Chain A
Amino acid sequence: MKSFFRLTLVFLVSMQLAYSQKTLTGVVSDSDGIPLPGATVLVQGTMTGVTTDFDGNFSINASEGQQLEFSFVGYQTASITVGSSDVINISLSLGTQLEEVIVTSLGITREKRALGYAVSEVDNSQIESRSTGDVARILSGKASGVQVTNQGGLSGSGTNVIIRGLSTFSSSNQPLFVVDGVPFASDTNAMGGFTSGNNGSSRFLDLDPNNIESVNVLKGLAAATLYGSQGRNGVILITTKSGTTAAGLNAQKNEVTVNTSYFSSELAMKPDYQNQYGGGFDQSFGWFFSNWGPSFDKEGPAGWGRQIALNGELSGQPGYVIHPYVNSISDNALPKDLLPLIGLSMDSLYEWAPRDSVEELFRTGSILNTNVNFRGQSDDGKISYNVNYGNLDDEGFTPNNNLRRNTLSFGGRMSLSNRLTVNGTLNYSNTRFKSPPIASAYGGTAGANSLYDVVFFTPRQLSITELPYENPITKSSIYYYPSNAIQHPLWTLNNSEDRQNTQRTYGGTSIQYDFNDNLNIQYRYGYDVYSEDNVSQSNKGGQTGTTEDRTGVYEKWNNTNTIFNHQISINGDYELDDLWGATFNIGATSNSVEYDRNGVRSTGQNVFGIFRHYNFNSQEEIEYYSKRNILGLFGQASFDYDDYLFITLATRTDWVSNLYEDFRSITYPSASIAIVPTSLFDFGELPIDFLKVRASYGTSATFPTGYPIASTLNLDVQDFRVGGTNVITNSSGSQLGNTGLKPELLAELEFGIEANLFDNRLSAEVSYYDRNTTDLIISRPLDPATGYSSTNTNIGEISTKGWEIDLSADWLRGEKLNWNTTFNYMSSQSIVEDLGDDTDQIIYAGFSNLGNAAIAGLPLTSMIGTSVARDSQGAPIVEGNGTYATNNDTDYKNNPYALIGDSNPDFIANISNTISYGNFSLNFLFNATIGGDMYSAFNSTMLSRGLTTDTAGPNFNRELTFLLPGVLSDSSPNNKMVGASTFTFSTIFYASELETWDASVLRLSELSLTYDIPKEWLERTPFGMASISAQGFNLWYDAYNMPEASNFDPNIAGLGVGNGSGFEYFNGVSARRYGVSLKFTF
């Protein structure tokens, strides 16, 4: 038998030698004539094969009559019989959609059909030329499983990104960003917390979306195993245009692409104000915050004719009131003799008439965005490069808010010899963000400077823009409220601001050595350094915040974040036999993240208007440092059998530097399988073009950040003062160190099905996942009677289940008319299964009596707050004054009504339609976020303070009396009639349960009309292609279960970027943007 084999081999070889060999050359290109570098050319039935170079050129020895097979991933394989000609040029046509190549973890490219897990892709046409410079906001609605929440409509504000729901509450749930193969810091370093103003950009803002070639979203744990614990929240893999060049993909002849756009932005969230009644309570006039005062009509029971303050009895002129600044003279806000300096006198009056000034405070913003891309390669294809420059100048609709960004990136690749390839990317960006401070507020005065706070509920008779805002001598804030407790919004605007100036450089280099066609070794070095200079300042003379804040504050600090990443891997790709193929990757990686914050906070300003530390009385340090290293070993092996069975096994072990030695490392394996029945069976007449079923199991871990196991001692050198000397104190830290702390464990099962139907007109992908987090790292709240307030420990369990559906339909596929619809759907639910025996409830975001709580058995997104008191039958209890008794106990165990909502939406669905006719293309993206609750200070204030048409006119006759549903303390039905202001103000504001609404929203997210200028028009111009597009973003939305006239947009992360959700504290209002963009190449 053996000898027969040998004999045959000899025979075959000699046969081959018998034919005359010749050298064939040619070019492999795609159907548009663009050369395909790296395409495989094989002489069929032999082991002879070559790959094309950068110009698609190949050269191979073959004999006449032999078959040459040309293949390239993503394209249909073609074969040609060698004839007499020595030159063979061939163009390959695109393969079916599902044979596309996908960049998976660590930059490993694989055919999508081989994947046992879900990956969403978004290409550059869906990303470039958008009105925002924030890549995460652009991704919103374009990839199933990805939930994007804007912190607000402020240009440059932070963005919250969650993939597949929350899986932990002690650590970040934000995904890992990987740019061109290198981990990329995406932190949001807010300037203060949400209570003091959470301005600060999310650092993925340093990426220019126009420089992005494609984005892949790895959603599950199996997909991200190789990224280790950093990939546990999903991975957003971004390939920039520069990175594309570096990877050797898509190399082209020299080309310049210019992308430029101009957009306008405006406040989208404009309430429908009523103009029937002005400030006061119970139809009586007063300089209150609230707007339950008399009518602007003279007649009628609520008319101003009945008010002595308005009918001329006090002011001397009917329909006029004593000017508010004159009225507050006795309250010392503004001394009498300064009145003339602001154009007033003791006789000044103010007309009792409605004024619309909220809109006047805002402006129409503008966004100018330009991106220029150069790409090209050397004639021999051995060197290729890409240079990209982007400029963004985004002036927000909020005065003094802008975002300016310059980005410059280089990517290049060089083949040193046949076996050694070096490539690299280098990026620089400078992002400057500026904004008025925006702190949280409940509808009264905020605890810190906040521009949005008192603006939206300005009583209707007042004009923000007409009332002088500063004491002409001291420059301190003056406003209409008698005790001057309200800071004038214009004072806030003119005297306080937050700035963030970020210099960033990032990139990487990789060196690859090919041992042979099947085996290579690769070393990759990546770095990412950003230096964020922050300034937060306010002149003295404000009326908001602490006594210290009012003396003037100047905080200046720098955050420098440095990531170094080393990675070495050996990668192999073998055909085991005709049916079995295998690839493997094994490697090691080290990741180091260092964060260093340094600065000074000064208080007590001397000379007004000067912000330098020397001008302040007192200084305190701002300092924080952390460094964490992670080492990892990884391995992955994948096997494919006969094009219908694909198995991938992977594992990674990590060691982390901030845990005790014994608990420092953890190993997490994963496995996935994909079966393609359409390659196995003939489905005959059934309209099934492609079918795949897949399953995967993945694990990962969460490592804590900072220094979670250390016990500390607090030293305060300015704790008290005796006899003019500072008294220094030390006291034990509130956290009890626990060296037994372990990483959190995550495990996920995922199932999916993918299908192409009806001649590939319809494609569908459905995924289901079930993720469990155990050994939760909980900052377990301790009874202070132990001597400590918390300790980090591992208890509890969270489970997250969800569905993702992606559909795409080509309704029309014509020469001229095309219509495609894509639809994606996601639903996920995270439940707290267990919190350990000693813990009932942990508030992990927000305020301790109004925030997100983890409670065993309830959704992790539960919201806790004060409620209306109920009797044993559950009926609301009404007190003697006709308003609800409240229950301020926010412990769910004692008061189940403290559960005021669940912020998690039932589902999020997006429909995108592209209709093209000839050179015109119309696209719109429609979003539906259904279910989920939101505590909204904005809505409750609009109602409680009587500002909008919801509280006047045909909707609500405020001159009547009202009866709250409920029972009195003796269980008899409530019979205490109350007036409109008591019915709303004294009710809604007193229980956060009543300030919570269903946040379902329908939204027209994007609308665009694009015209591709016909090629024939461009023939005599230097341009290769040109297109023009008119676009609008967030043009329409309707939160239909919220108060109608508030026009509230629930896409707001009031608690800032983090794990909290479902709360809004007057710290974000949304924007609407529209404009034109132009793209051309030459």
Chain B
Amino acid sequence: MKNFTKLSILSLIGVLVFTSCETTELDLTANPNALGPDQASADLFINAIQEDFAYFVDELGSPGLRLTRQLHDFFRDYDNAYTPIAWDGVWSNAYQGIMEDIRLMTILAEEATLSYYVGMGEVFQAYIYISLVDYFGDVPYTEALQGSENLNPSSDGGQAVYQAALGLLDSAIANFNAGGSGPQYDMYYGGDAQKWIRAANSIKKKAYLNMGDYSSYNSISNYITSSADDFQFQWGTNVSNPDTRSPIYRSNYTDNGASDFQSNWLMNRLMVGRGGVRDPRINYLIYRQQGDTPGIDAPSDEVLLQCAVPGFFIEPHRIAYGLYCGLPEGYWGRDHGDDSGINPDQSRRALSGIYPSGGSYDSGEFVPQYLNDGSGGAGITPIILSSWMNFFDAEVAVNTGGDPTAGTLAGIESFMNKVDDITGAPDISQADIDEYIAAFASEWTAASLDGKLEMWAEEFMITQVGNGIDAYNLYRRTGYPKNLQPTIELNPGQFPLSMFYPSNHAGRNSNVNQKTDLAQRVFWNTNGPSVD
């Protein structure tokens, strides 16, 4: 009996322990909450890559606009305007977000001989590498994207990376020429390989221009010459799940008004126009929520705009420059580097207009703009426009002893027409275009070469709204426009000739040392002009 009891207890325990195998399974390492890397598809990769690339351009392009006064910049001194940590997002998107996906996509696409996909990946990769060199100087290329093989990839010299990018573009052109169809969603060129080839060639020209290699620049002929071929990303109007709106629209058209400021310099440039003729693009680029500006052409209001209240202290160097605080007629933005507290002016200040953000066309109604107003965010992020190619041509012409006039005028006209063609806004009358171009031309003719270059650069800047990568390059490359608005702070420190390395690059990679200052020039700019 005793033994039986013992036996039955032991077997009961045994049964309980061994039926508990649910609790004893020891191989539970696969994550059921996500797909495994082996389940990837080239088509889904190319979708992600195309969208992420647009975000990359927008995110990297915005500081370029701010540094060149095309958008308001919120910091009094340059050292703190763009700290290492500010670049973490764009760096992470470039390598981990886009280029690792391109690497994995390319493996799948090559297996399936999808050369068109491979070509797209190469164009994106080349543009990203060139832009990263433009901003940061030396960046990892040969040791990049090796995963656990190399956790501390060393950087390559900027010039080597440029050469590699040019090689990628040549390979892309070959891939597009190889035939083969594009993906279901070609968000840039709708499956037209020839347009991709022109885009690739345009990026090559831009690289040669930066490097000062004008003969190589001139040797390329099949590039973007019509705005129908413009390399740009089209945003949508869906607010959420997914949010497909232009990132600029998102920060300008909200339930509570704008969270970004327009640049007083740019608005002034457009208002003043040429020879007394206001730039007709102003109504497309800028939207005014009210028709006058407190303290400028309306009674002063310390709640809305303190710097326009009589007696407010304005630094002498700003007064000497002649443009500060605000402009009349509701063109109400902020001065370069103004970091004072935010006034409750979100429904009053000027907004980004219908171009490029997909906002509202300014027809002089002066209505506060909110979420979904205007074109609902269906704007674009420009990457390379035909007008930019014209301005590039003008610069090359000057540097090779030629005349910048044709390129400049073509650029103005081309961009004028691009803005004019936007749906959701009336056309600019040809008379207005002609009048402006005539006024420009007469001012141009009277100007010295220096004056011409100033005008050329200002006009180029206007076309850069939406993507300041080339504005930042242009400013460092040529030193024009020389008459940009100064910062509020008299001594804002070194203008960034290249940016600090991102903190997730310098702080996490033992082969990278952070720059000590912002005075390091990128390889193509070693003899560049001094800018501030």
Contact = CB atoms under 8 A, between A and B. Distances in A.
A126 interface: no
Contact of A731 (B97, B346, B370): B97
A890 B504 CA distance: 12
26 contacts: A281-B341, A332-B368, A332-B370, A420-B9, A482-B344, A485-B257, A547-B254, A564-B20, A566-B16, A590-B23, A592-B24, A623-B33, A624-B33, A629-B25, A661-B27, A707-B32, A713-B39, A715-B44, A727-B185, A731-B52, A784-B505, A786-B146, A848-B88, A849-B85, A869-B80, A888-B80
Contact of A485 (B140, B256, B302): B256
Q: Which 7 residue pairs of A and B lie closest in terms of their CB atoms, listed nearest first? A: A592-B23, A729-B48, A707-B31, A483-B346, A286-B303, A787-B100, A712-B34
A476 to B, nearest CB: 8
B284 to A, nearest CB: 23
Given A787-B96, A838-B152, A330 B185 contact: no
Interface stretch (B270-278, B450-458, B508-516): B508-516
Interface stretch (A6-14, A135-143, A716-724, A1006-1014): A716-724
Given A566-B16, A729-B48, A848-B85, A711 B33 contact: no
A731 B53 CA distance: 13
Nearest to A894: B514
Interface in B223-253: 236, 238-244, 250
A331 B368 contact: yes
A620 B241 contact: yes
B315 A785 contact: no
Contacts of B526: none
B28 A891 contact: no
Interface residues of B, number: 110
A713 B508 contact: no
Interface in A571-610: 588, 590-592, 603-604
A880 to B, nearest CB: 5
Contacts of B12: 511, 523
B133 to A, nearest CB: 13
B508 A547 contact: no
A840 B509 CA distance: 10
B345 interface: yes
Contacts of A715: 34-35, 44
A885 B80 contact: yes
Nearest to B303: A286
Contact of A879 (B76, B97, B144): B76
B211 to A, nearest CB: 23
Contacts of B241: 548, 603, 618, 620, 718
Interface string A783-801: 1111111010000000000
A841 interface: yes
Given A660-B29, A732-B37, 12 more contacts: A485-B257, A513-B6, A547-B239, A547-B371, A591-B23, A592-B23, A629-B23, A712-B37, A713-B36, A720-B244, A721-B238, A722-B187
Nearest to B366: A330
B347 A482 contact: yes
Interface in A630-667: 631, 655-661, 664
Interface string B135-157: 00001100111111011110000
B342 to A, nearest CB: 9
B238 to A, nearest CB: 5
Interface of A: 280-282, 284-288, 290, 330-332, 417, 419-420, 481-485, 511, 513, 521, 523, 525, 543, 546-548, 550-551, 564-566, 568, 588, 590-592, 603-604, 618, 620, 623-629, 631, 655-661, 664, 706-707, 709-716, 718-722, 726-734, 736, 738, 781-789, 791, 837-841, 848-849, 869, 879-881, 885-891, 893-894, 969, 985-986
Interface of B: 5-6, 9, 12-13, 16-17, 20, 22-37, 39-41, 44-45, 47-49, 51-52, 76-77, 79-80, 83-86, 88, 91-92, 94-97, 99-101, 103-104, 139-140, 143-148, 150-153, 185, 187, 236, 238-244, 250, 254-257, 290, 302-303, 306, 315, 340-341, 343-348, 368, 370-371, 488-491, 503-505, 507-510, 512, 514
Given A789-B504, A985-B341, A288 B303 contact: yes
B101 to A, nearest CB: 5
Contact of A547 (B22, B250, B340, B503): B250
B303 to A, nearest CB: 4
B509 A838 contact: yes
A715 B34 CA distance: 8
Given A483-B347, A712-B31, A713-B34, A783 B16 contact: no
B94 A879 contact: no
A64 B30 CA distance: 73
Contacts of A288: 303, 343-344
A727 B36 contact: no
B26 A664 contact: yes
B28 A786 contact: no
Nearest to A656: B26
A547 B140 contact: no
A782 B242 contact: no
B243 A787 contact: no
A893 B513 CA distance: 11
A789 B368 CA distance: 42
Contact of A783 (B148, B340, B505): B505
Nearest to A594: B22
B490 to A, nearest CB: 5
Nearest to A887: B80
A837 to B, nearest CB: 6
B138 to A, nearest CB: 11
A888 B152 contact: no
A891 B507 contact: yes
A782 B151 contact: yes
A625 B41 CA distance: 24
Contacts of B348: 331
B458 to A, nearest CB: 28
A545 to B, nearest CB: 10
A709 B27 CA distance: 12
Contact of A331 (B86, B148, B257, B508): B257
Contacts of B254: 547
B146 A657 contact: no
Given A548-B243, A719-B48, A838 B510 contact: yes
In this complex, the member of A624, A880, A986 whose beta carbon has the largest number of chain B beta carbons within 10 angstroms is A880
A886 B52 CA distance: 32
A719 B242 contact: yes
A281 B32 CA distance: 55
Nearest to B253: A547
B20 A657 contact: no
Given A331-B257, A523-B13, A722-B187, A788 B147 contact: yes
A566 B13 CA distance: 10
Given A655-B26, A721-B244, A730 B45 contact: yes
A727 B13 contact: no
Contacts of B256: 483-485, 543
Contact of A629 (B24, B35, B36, B144): B24
A286 B302 contact: yes
Contact of A483 (B36, B345, B505): B345
A785 B51 contact: no
Contacts of B84: 889, 891, 894
Contact of B504 (A482, A726, A783): A783
A331 B37 CA distance: 51
Contact of B23 (A564, A726, A781): A564
Nearest to A848: B85
A791 B96 CA distance: 13
A841 B151 contact: no
A840 B238 contact: no
Question: Which of B143, B148, B489 neighbours the largest number of chain A CB atoms within 10 Å of its CB?
Answer: B148
B151 A786 contact: yes
A588 B47 CA distance: 52
Given A618-B240, A719-B48, A721-B244, A710 B91 contact: no
Contacts of B80: 869, 885-889
